[in-house]
Structure 1
Amino acid sequence: MSIVPHLSPARWRARIYPGQLPRMSTVRADLRADLAGFGEDLVETLTLCASELVANAIEHTLSGDSGGRVLRALFESEPGVLRLVVVDDGARESAPQIPTDRTEQEWLSAERGRGLLMVEMLAVRWGAYPVVPFPFCADLGTAVWAEFLLGGGER
């Protein structure tokens, strides 16, 4: 039986970062600091997934434009489940998704498009939703989330 620290809703504050890839080391360092006391496997998994989601926001949305930002939030979505959320500044491209129209050979040679597949494999579940759920506000930003078990068990 593993011991999971008690999580209060106010345990972590949301963090906002400039939409610049060179700031990724700060994103990773802050996440590791926020997760101090949790198991190394969980910390490394979340750090890897957060790096991918933040980099995607910077590369594929308005977050990567001049003055763009990325928000990272962390909270317990239900007992024993930690949710990582990355919010971008708005659409430049379509909603995040795993490429599904590639052949096996295309996957082997692809230089891009594996990040969300990695998140899907490491997280219990993941998804995305518009920050403001009204059709005329669709370009205001997307929240991409991934959930991870705190106790190391499986669902």
Structure 2
Amino acid sequence: MVIDVERLSRLFAGRRESISDARAFTRAFVVDRSPDDLVDTVELVVSELCTNAVEHTASGEEGGQFVLELAVHSEHVRVGVVDFGAHTEPTVNDEPFGVDAVSGRGLLIVETVSKAWGSERLRVGRRVWADIVGASM
């Protein structure tokens, strides 16, 4: 019997090392469930949202964690990251960047490659999500 899973989530430790694990988890789940042109973009969004959770929320503190949620739909892939919360809401940094800038563009990238993105407060923390559409979806 084959069971086709369309949604999957996993809890990760709130450490920078977990971001590469989250990308690998994403690739393994999405690669056979969505068009090839979409896999790299979904992995990029996962990387940016997980990095934000670790660097800008309580998930990155000692003992912190975050949850990666993936859902493959017929028209898009939804990526969600649930973190332990922060004092501010996530916003796109639209200030000009120098050529040497190495941070501060995460949500700008997510906004650029996603059909839609947003965030919602939860009882504990926040979910930041993005819907990614491939050319053949």
TM-score scaled by length of structure 1: 0.76
Q: Which amino acid aligns with 1:96?
A: P
Say whether residues 1:59 and 2:55 are aligned partners.
Answer: yes
> In the TM superposition, what whole-angstrom CA distance separates every residue of 1:59-79 from its partner, at most 9, and x where no partner exists?
000100111001011114x64
Size of the alignment, in residue pairs?
132
Corresponding residue for residue 95 of structure 1: 89
Pairs within 5 Å for 1:128-143: 128-132=119-123, 140-143=124-127
Runs of 4+ with >4 A deviation? none
The share of aligned pairs that are identical, in percent, is 35
Runs (5+) with no aligned partner, structure 2: none
Say whether residues 1:39 and 2:35 are aligned partners.
Answer: yes
RMSD between superposed Cα atoms in Å: 1.9
Distance 1:112 1:150 in 2: 26
Distance 2:24 2:69 in 1: 14
Corresponding residue for residue 136 of structure 1: none
TM-score scaled by length of structure 2: 0.86
Corresponding residue for residue 120 of structure 1: 111
SS of the aligned residue for 1:117 comes to helix
Aligned 8 A contact 1:80 1:151 in 2: no
Q: Which amino acid aligns with 1:33?
A: A
Runs (5+) with no aligned partner, structure 1: 1-7, 133-139
